[in-house]
Every structure is written in C-alpha cells, then in structure tokens.
Homo-oligomer: A and B are copies of this chain.
C-alpha cells in the first residue's frame, strides 16, 4: 500500500513531479504533483491518446480549447480526449492529480 499524499512539497518546486504508479497493457496510471506550475501563456498541450484525470488534492484551473475555464476541486474528474488542446491555467501548492493514460488501440 502506498499513498498519493506521500512526500508532498510544501513550497513551489522548479517542475511538476510525474510518478508512474502502475502500467498494464493499454493503460498507465500516474501521479502528478503540481506546485504552482501552469502551461505557459499562449501555449496548449495535447496528447495522441485519451487521458482521464482526477484532481485528488489542491485546486487547479484547466481549460479545454473552445470551452470556459474550469476550476477543479478534489474529486473532480474529466476525460481529456486524444488530440484535444488544453492548458493548465494555474495550480495550488501542492496539487495532486491522478492521470490514467490510455495507450491501447485508437
């Protein structure tokens, strides 16, 4: 047994932390710990596969292109579809995300 809340930063760090928790055929579960990071202004992220995210602790602003900005609180989850442009507008310190990456057939 392990905890998503293990070893969290109390102050902003230089970069987000990405930690793989489990990988199986077609899926990868990852913990992401943010401490104030955001997507640089004017930039978007996109990934070639579906990604499901759950905000576990903290708070964050997330925008999917063409939609109003979202504020995520603990327990909030959503699917970021493959190739859908999105950005993280802001994050609290610390913010803990659970990300499930689907890497199987399209």
Contact = CB atoms under 8 A, between A and B. Distances in A.
Interface string A18-36: 0001101111010000000
Q: Is the interface of A mostly helix, strand, loop or mixed?
A: strand
Interface residues of A, number: 33
Nearest to A1: B78
B2 A78 contact: yes
Interface in A41-60: 50, 52, 54, 56-57
B26 A75 contact: no
9 contacts: A1-B70, A1-B78, A3-B73, A4-B76, A24-B102, A24-B104, A25-B104, A56-B56, A75-B96
